[in-house]
Structure 1
Amino acid sequence: MKAIALQQYGSADDLALVDLPDPKVAPGEVLIRVRAAGVNPVDWKLAAGGLDPVMEAGFPLVPGWDVSGVVEAVGFDAGEYAVGDEVYGYLRKDWAKNGTYAELVSASVRLIAPKPASLNWQEAAGVPLAGLTALQSLKRVSVGSGDTVLVHAAAGGVGAFGVQIAVARGARVIGTASERNHDHLRALGAEPVTYGDGLTERVRALAPEGVDAVLDFVGGGVAALPVTDHRDRVVSIADPGVLADGGQYVWVRPDHDDLVELSALADGGALKVHVDREFPLAEAAEAWRLNQTGRTRGKIVLTV
Structure 2
Amino acid sequence: MSRAVLLESFGGSEVLDLHEVPTPQAGPGQIRVRVTAAGLNPMDWFMTSDPDTAGRFGLSLPSGFGTDYAGIVDQVGAGVTGFAAGDRVFGGALSRAVADYVVIDAAGTIAVGGDAHHTPDGVDDRTAAALTIAGCTAAAALVVVNPGPGDTLLIGGAGGGVGVFTVQLARLTGARVIGTGSATSADALRALGAEPVVYGDGLADRLRALAPGGITAAIDLFGTDTVRVARELGVPDERITTIAAQVDGITPANGANAAPGAIEEIAHLVAAGRLRVPIAATFPVEQIRAAVDLQAGRHVHGKIVIDL
- Could you state the TM-score of these two structures normalised by the residue count of structure 2? 0.90
Q: Is the 8 A contact 2:179 2:197 kept in 1?
A: yes
1:189 positional shift: 1.0
Question: Matches of residues 247-266 of structure 1 in structure 2 within 5 Å?
Answer: 247-253=250-256, 257-266=261-270
1:154 positional shift: 0.9
Task: Give 2:82's aligned residue.
Answer: 80
Task: Give 2:112's aligned residue.
Answer: none
1:62 positional shift: 1.1
Task: Give 2:215's aligned residue.
Answer: 211
Task: Give 2:228's aligned residue.
Answer: 224
Q: Deviations over 1:1-54 (max 9, x none)?
A: 111111122321122111112224244321110010011121112222252342
Question: Matches of residues 103-114 of structure 1 in structure 2 within 5 Å?
Answer: 103-109=100-106, 110=108, 111-114=115-118
Q: Is the 8 A contact 1:112 1:259 kept in 2?
A: no
Q: Deviations over 1:43-72 (max 9, x none)?
A: 112222252342322332111100011111
Give yes or no for the alignment of 1:167 onto 2:149.
no
Question: Matches of residues 123-142 of structure 1 in structure 2 within 5 Å?
Answer: 123-142=127-146
Task: Give 2:159's aligned residue.
Answer: 155
Runs (4+) off by over 6 Å = none
Q: Is the 8 A contact 1:90 1:254 kept in 2?
A: no
1:254 positional shift: 7.3
Does the C-alpha gap of structure 1 residues 254 and 137 become closer, same or farther in structure 2, counting only changes over 3 Å?
closer
AA paired with 1:103? D
1:88 positional shift: 0.8
Question: Which 10-residue stretch deviates more, 272-281 or 56-65?
Answer: 56-65
RMSD between aligned residues: 1.7
What are the ranges of 5 or more consecutive residues in structure 1 without an aligned counterpart?
none
AA paired with 1:84? G
- Aligned residue for 2:45, secondary structure, equals helix
Does the C-alpha gap of structure 1 residues 171 and 28 become closer, same or farther in structure 2, counting only changes over 3 Å?
farther
- Could you state the TM-score of these two structures normalised by the residue count of structure 1? 0.92
Does the C-alpha gap of structure 1 residues 285 and 223 become closer, same or farther in structure 2, counting only changes over 3 Å?
same
Q: Is the 8 A contact 2:5 2:99 kept in 1?
A: yes
Question: Matches of residues 276-287 of structure 1 in structure 2 within 5 Å?
Answer: 276-287=280-291
- Aligned residue for 2:204, secondary structure, equals helix
AA paired with 1:73? Q
Identity, in percent, stands at: 35
**2: CA distance between counterparts of 1:257 and 1:75?**
24
Q: Is the 8 A contact 2:283 2:306 kept in 1?
A: yes
**1: CA distance between counterparts of 2:245 and 2:60?**
28
Task: Give 1:102's aligned residue.
Answer: 99
